[in-house]
Amino acid sequence: MTAPLRPVIVAGNWKMHTVPAEAGELARVIAARTVDPLVVRVICPPFVALRAVRDALEGTGVAVGAQNIHHEPAGAYTGEVSAPMLVGLAEWVIVGHSERRRDAGETDALIGAKLRRAVEAGLRPILCVGEQLADRESGRQEDVVRAQLRGALGGDGDGGPAAIPGSLVIAYEPVWAIGTGRTARGTDAAAMADAIRATLAELATAERAESIPVLYGGSVTAGAIGEFLAEPAIDGALVGGASLKPDEMAGIVGRAGVTAAARAAAA
């Protein structure tokens, strides 16, 4: 089987930063500093800044993503935002981020429901998975991530293949390496990407598994991203704090462009 040429993706997650008045200008600056036709670029601002960022990015080739959605399409859920509400404002959405799992107690089943709502609404989902420090220290990191994938994608071995959407992107977040001072290595991310695709192959087919992009998302910086993009199994990055800094994003996308060009030339 010939390996597919997966896209190289850099998605910026602004988390709970920026207000609408500043978000649009920041998005414009980042878009201008990161022009590369070989790299898929996405900015995920807070909900209240989606319209400002969407308008600022029009015509730049940079897509807009949301940071979360509710697991129901509508209903009496005060303060929540559903996938249909995002149509026209965003094209992508993050589901299952480690901070949502930690702070909101999101389960794999709930994340799976969010994933399905995203696909139904035509949004491209970035499904986040990753282990805690205790999991890695006990050697259970792959078991934890495999369980997260099975729980979210609905493949429990009792029926046929899981319905893995063609638009799916996986972001591997080693939670133990985010804001802790600990450092993940490119080989750590590559090993987990292999485990992720092996699990997807078990849930669906090997062909489908090989087509799914896997991003790295652990305290990504311009200085460190090269080590991860040098791994053939890694297809880009989900960037946190550095995505608010135009210089950092320029460096990250620039390195991603080198990877994308090399892969295209080798294909």
Please tell me the predicted confidence (pLDDT) of residue 89.
Answer: 98
**CATH class label, 8-156+164-266:** alpha beta
Q: Which residues contact 215 (CB under 8 A, 6 or more apart)?
A: 9, 11, 126, 169, 170, 171, 172, 234, 235, 236, 237, 238
pTM: predicted TM-score of the whole model, two decimal places = 0.95
How far apart CA 45 and CA 27 sit, in angstroms, is: 9
Annotated active-site residue in 99, 106, 142, 173: 173
Which of the residues 97, 131, 142, 227 is marked catalytic? 97
Mean pLDDT score of the chain: 94
Question: What pLDDT, in 10s, does the model give residues 82-125?
Answer: 999 999 999 999 999 999 999 999 999 999 999 999 999 999 99
DSSP 50-94: HHHHHHHHTTTS-EEEES---SSSSSS-TT---HHHHBTTBSEEE
Structure token digits, residue 232:
């053939």
User: Is residue 71 annotated as part of the catalytic site, yes or no?
Assistant: no
Q: Is residue 22 flagged as an active site residue?
A: no
Residue 96, helix vs strand vs coil: coil
Residue 161: pLDDT band by 50, 70, 90 thresholds? Answer: low
Cα distance between residue 107 and residue 21, in whole Å: 34
Query: Quick check: 181 pLDDT over 80?
Result: no
**pLDDT in the model for residue 2:** 56
pLDDT single digits (tens) 3-52: 679 999 999 999 999 999 999 999 999 999 999 999 999 999 999 999 99
Nearest to 126 by CA among 173, 58, 176, 183: 173
At 114, the amino acid letter reads K
